[in-house]
Chains A and B, each alone.
Chain A
Amino acid sequence: MSTFEFTILIAFGSLVAGLIGALTGLGGGVVIVPLLTLAFGVDIRYAIGASLVSVIATSSGAAAAYLKEGFSNMRVGMFLEMATTVGAMTGAYVAASTPTRAIAIIFGIVLLYSAYSANKPPKDLLTDEPPDRYATLLKLDGSYPTSEGEQHYRVRHVPAGFGLMYVAGVLSGLLGIGSGAVKVLAMDQAMRIPFKVSTTTSNFMIGVTAAASAGIYLHRGYIDPGIAMPVMLGVLAGALIGARILPGARVRTLRLVFSVVIAALAVEMIFKGVKGSF
């Protein structure tokens, strides 16, 4: 296989990954690393570097659409960014001294969790409890527009959410993914933020988090232009097409199928990691 064929195949695979990732809400990043390592035999460090770059592209590319809707909560986003950026830098530093087979196994476990959590229907856990002390202090409570007017919400369990966001950052920096699934866990489950707000806010955070570790990966020589180029262009094109056809698409079946694919990739990564072929 020549470099030309290799590049075109990776670009095409990334486009499909970005498209399905956007349609299912799972993000294209989660399958880039398995795709590159399992199908193309690329070293996992190059794969993680390329995936990280594509995560930034989709996050910043989607921001314009999200900002117009007026759902995102900038204070929640910026406050939690302190946790995710420190986490991402931790993850990127830890990655250097972690054996690649261990990274493959952790990757597989996170993939399995992502596949599972994507199929749980989003449920808002709005409460009438008194305001959270930290949420008040940090002015995190907010509201978002609905067809029946402004819907107010209160942010709960700020320390737990902050801690979980640190974990999301570590995973992002270690594995080169957006770790949307852990962010959902922190913002929806722990902090009780309505999912419309948490999805749009976390989209913004994913790009900033990935940028925090991308610099470290770049300095370490993990970001190869020959691989990152087709991955970034493919995922970005796929995500933009996906966002355009999303409103009319019926995604439940697709999400289920994609989750099964992800779970299969996860098992293969764990298996190969345990066997030591990474």
Chain B
Amino acid sequence: MRALATAVALRQVTGGAAVRVSAGILIVITIAALLGPSLSSHDYFSMNLAERFEPPTLENARFFGTDDLGRDLFVRTMSGTRVTLLVAIVASFVSLVLGVAYGAVAGYAGGKVDAFMMRIVDALYALPFIFLVILLMVAFERNFLLIFVAIGAINWLDMARIVRGQTLSLKEREFVAAARLIGVPPVVIVFRHIVPNLLGVVVVYITLTIPQAILVESFLSFLGLGIQEPQTSLGALVNGGVSQMERAPWLLLIPATLLAVMLMSFNFLGDGLRDALDPRLKAR
């Protein structure tokens, strides 16, 4: 159902060229990230000290040149993008599902249930996040999944608060009263009458969450807690590029530009999606 609605919404995203261009860019980047590494004759981990710091050239398919260890930057950038997109999407999805459900239920239930549920959120807020991640990393083996969990686990708190606030005002509206009078069960009221009316706000917030998740991931990688070499992500590549900035500026410029373009595209797409999901705006 929701997938269908989203598809419909996507079709209705016609809010100007910016949205369409952004969507196009994201699709191209996603396809390149998925297929790019396997099309190239290089791989992301082989070092070749004879070919260090080669600038971008068409020769030998070194489109983005090589890094300080002679690894192919094109392949590394594409596989890094893949990781970055995955982190961003999974983290936002966790935040979406958990945050919206938790916030809407707390807001609609109200009273003591609401107070109890939100105090749990407050308690989680109080945990020092970096410390938590370090603990997780130490306690368990370093892996991908853990990063998703860690990033999702902080983002859903904000989402839950926002959704709860919106729910508090929505539940006083007359259409909710009308649903109660008909006898619609509370759970159905939350998910059929309240959540769809929150989507506009949620989508806007998700467009903030995705870049945030990307940035948090790159920060963790920088601390050595995120993606581990030879695997990489855009954040890790940018951080690596900073140290070689004077000698080989493309190591910084290429991944940084790609990251910036992606973040901007997500923002534009978010604006468009919000307009498409809000039936009142659609009419205009």
Chain A bound to chain B: no
